[in-house]
Amino acid sequence: MIEEIIKTFIVFFLVIEPISLVPMFGALTRGGEAGYRRKMAYKSTVISAGIFIAFALLGDYALKALGISVDAFKIAGGVLLFLLSVDMVFARQSGLRSTTVREQDEARYREDISVFPMAFPLIAGPGALATLLLFMVETRGEPLAFLSLLAVILSVLAVTLVLLLGTTHVMKIMGVTGANVVSRLLGVVLSALAVQYVLDGVQNAFLGV
């Protein structure tokens, strides 16, 4: 049980990737007062938590209603996570883990960046939500596992909040280059996990293993 919780924490930490959010948050709040940055940090993480919880409660029902099997979603989710890991390794912006150029232009003129682009797509983005569903389908009929999953997600969001609140200090220590290096290393690990999801889905769906 403890090993599964640790694994889940690592996966969501890799997908949400709070370290790489720090320079983005710093750029979006540049010129703002300390109170404004704190407000945006708290608000964006709370909204992200709401998105994750809502998705956790309703996502599995949506899959059942659409007739999507667990194995099919494992394959699709694994492919999506692999694309996400490629973006991380090559520091590319595709909309999976970051905002697009047009979204960045729109965000520059927003006073409240907590919902867009911080909560979505930066924190609770497509990759993170797909990962949540991957874990959700494995906790069907297990309330304790479901609650543990939510607890892990909230703990990752707590780490994210701490890093966002300390953006100034983190950037002094790491800088943009350091954040990109960490992102690339995490991307390599995530790619392996993504391939494993695809292999599991293929084995169960086609080989009956």
pLDDT at 196: 87
**pLDDT score recorded for residue 102:** 58
- Looking at residue 63, its pLDDT comes to 79
pLDDT tens-place values along the chain, 209 residues long: 788 899 899 999 988 989 888 988 988 888 788 899 999 999 999 999 999 999 899 887 887 888 888 788 788 888 888 888 888 788 666 555 555 555 555 555 557 889 988 998 889 987 888 889 889 878 877 889 999 999 999 999 999 999 999 998 988 888 777 877 887 888 888 888 888 888 988 888 877 65
- CA atoms 34, 38, 44, 47: torsion sign: negative
Task: Give the whole-angstrom CA distance, residue 56 versus residue 194.
Answer: 20
What's the pTM? 0.80
* C-alpha–C-alpha distance, residues 15 and 12, integer Å: 5
Continuous H helices in 137-174: 143-165, 167-173
Q: How many CA atoms lie within 13 A of 56 on its CB side?
A: 24
pLDDT of residue 125: 82
Q: How far apart are CA 117 and CA 93, in angstroms?
A: 14
Which pLDDT value is given to residue 99?
A: 55
pLDDT at 208: 63
How high is the pLDDT of residue 151? 96
Q: Quote the strand ranges of 10-49, DSSP E.
A: none
